[in-house]
Amino acid sequence: MGKDLEIKAVSGVQETLVPERLVGGLPTMYCFETCPFCFKVKALLGSRGIEYSKVEVDPTFKTQLKWSEWAKVPIFVDKDGTQVNDSNHILHYIDNKNGNLFPKAGEDQDQDHWMDFSNNVLGKSIVAVIYSTYWTSVGALDYVTRVDNFSRASRLINKWMGAIIMRMVGKSRAKMFDLPPRENLQYQLDEMSKGINGKFFGGLEPNGADFANYGILRSMQGLNGFDLVEGHAVISDWYGLMQHRSGV
């Protein structure tokens, strides 16, 4: 049974339309407020001026995702009910429908490489820093106490139990790298800066790699370790440009 569900839950564009999952007739994104992968999509939607609805998902129980076989955020549901799963797929889907300004997946090796980097390396590196102690984890989860659609019980559980879970995730992510979390993030920012080609990864205009990596770093703004982004000679300038472009 568990296996069946795993097989059915696939990334990318889904065959079955789910127009009943739209909110207010607008393209709708299911997300967690602080999710790095969701920020990628928010940044692209912002830069293209696309109006959309947001459904805040309870990070512990994921009650608002019970309808979907894909049990992660972000999930994007387009105006016609098309469901798209997984952040990099969603970036390509939205670009494709709105001007086709980036190379498609498989058309540009550098873009593909840095989009993969955002998930496989940068996303894991920031989690190791943000959730490096129980108290930094509580700080990162404090936002749940301000989410209107969560009950009081859900807010408390998400904050205090969520922090224990995320501290464990932080520990496991830290084990993936040779360097300690802060030193590793510094190293990864140095690596990433080599991919910026003048102004953006995409050259004069941002491409999928810009939105993918910006979204990941944007999710740590105000949290433990963001000083490394602000203090980085190359990344801080690029970050400012992306923030200006996306309005996120």
Q: Which residues contact ligand GSH (rule: CB under 6 A)?
A: 32, 35-37, 71-74, 86-88, 119
The residue to which tokens 């990596």 are assigned: 213
Q: How far is the CB of 96 from ligand GSH (least distance, A)?
A: 17
**What are the strands, taking DSSP E only, across the chain?**
12-13, 28-31, 53-56, 75-77, 83-85
Tokens of 122: 């940068």
**235 C-beta neighbours (distance < 10 Å), count:** 21
Q: How far is the CB of 75 from ligand GSH (least distance, A)?
A: 9
Which among 49, 27, 29 is positioned nearest to 38, based on CA atoms? 29
Q: C-alpha distances in angstroms, 84 versus 47, 61, 108, 182, 206?
A: 19, 21, 22, 34, 22
Nearer to ligand GSH, 40 or 197 (CB): 40
Nearer to ligand GSH, 87 or 186 (CB): 87
Q: How far is the CB of 198 from ligand GSH (least distance, A)?
A: 27
Nearer to ligand GSH, 53 or 60 (CB): 60
Nearer to ligand GSH, 72 or 218 (CB): 72
- The residues facing 76 across adjacent strands are 29, 84
- The residues facing 23 across adjacent strands are 26
Q: How far is the CB of 236 from ligand GSH (least distance, A)?
A: 24
Q: How far is the CB of 199 from ligand GSH (least distance, A)?
A: 25
Nearer to ligand GSH, 21 or 199 (CB): 21
CA separation for the pair 170, 193 (Å, rounded)? 24
